Amino acid sequence: MGWFPKPIKTIKDFKGLKFRAGGMSAEVFRAMGMSVVTLPGGEVVPGLQRGVIDAAEYSDPSADLALGLPDVRKYYHMPGIHQPTGIMEFIINKKKWDELPADLKAIVEYACMAETLHYTLKMLDQNSKDLSTLVGPKYNVKLIETPREILTEVLKAWDKVAEKYCKENAFFNKVYQSQKKWAERIVPYRRVGHPSYDHAADYYWGGINPYKAQKP
């Protein structure tokens, strides 16, 4: 969710801050009534140091650590819901792609599929290690569980932003409606076909809190 100067307990605490966000996330937080400042990655830490912004989101524990955020803020709220995942792109010139023979196209396609899984597993592994570093004695970051109230407000704000883009951009609307149609079938299936993640997690690791996560 981001890095803050103090624990965020209610939506009122969240709205009163100058908050760095980028891309469509910035529009979502703005729709929540926040004072949003969009800064490139290299300016986030200096912006926090100079008071240009009060708080910031960037990416995940590994990227946040590399950026230097634990040097300037000590309250790290997780989870966030404005960027539930991150997937890389492989962009190819369409004309050049069409000229490739079928076997080379297949090699590229399967390499991308393999990298998608590899990247996902690698980031889970690295983020778990780096979060341990963040809450350890070197940085002494306080990990705070994001209140569900705030997560719900983010979803409400996203609905407003998505509705706006659906009206303005036909291709956005086409993709969004396709995603919703998929989710309308898959999400109910997952809810009845897959046990709740918390069930097994609580059974085996319910009493373990290696990151010293605190309730807000």
pLDDT of residue 172: 97
| First CA to last CA distance, the chain | 13
Angstrom distances, CA of residue 106 to CA of 97, 99, 102, 103: 11, 13, 6, 5
Cα separation, 135 vs 64, in Å, equals 13
Instruction: Let me know if residue 178 belongs to a domain.
Output: yes
Q: What's the token pair of residue 180?
A: 């919703």
Instruction: Let me know if residue 67 belongs to a domain.
Output: yes
pLDDT of residue 117: 92
Q: Which residues pair with 37 in a beta bridge?
A: 20
Instruction: Let me know if residue 39 belongs to a domain.
Output: yes
Instruction: Let me know if residue 105 belongs to a domain.
Output: no
Instruction: Let me know if residue 112 belongs to a domain.
Output: no
pLDDT of residue 33: 87
pLDDT of residue 25: 92
Q: Exposure pattern of 178-200 as b/e (b: 16+ CB <10 Å)?
A: eeeeeeeeeeeeeeeeeeeeeee
Counted domains in the chain: 1
pLDDT of residue 84: 81
**What letter would DSSP give residue 141?**
P
Angstrom distances, CA of residue 213 to CA of 64, 72, 146: 17, 19, 10
Q: From the centroid of its chain, how far is CA 111?
A: 25
Instruction: Say what the pTM is.
Output: 0.90
Residue span of the structural domain in which 191 resides: 2-85+130-205
Q: For residue 8, what is the domain's CATH number?
A: 3.40.190.170
Instruction: Let me know if residue 118 belongs to a domain.
Output: no
Residues of the chain below pLDDT 50? none
**Amino acid letter, residue 146:** T
Instruction: Let me know if residue 41 belongs to a domain.
Output: yes
Compute the radius of gyration of the chain from its Cα atoms.
Answer: 20
Instruction: Let me know if residue 90 belongs to a domain.
Output: no
pLDDT digits (tens, 9 = 90+) for 96-155: 999 999 999 999 999 999 999 999 999 999 999 999 999 999 999 999 999 999 999 999
pLDDT of residue 216: 79
Contact 57, 80 (CB under 8 A): yes
Cα separation, 122 vs 22, in Å, equals 24
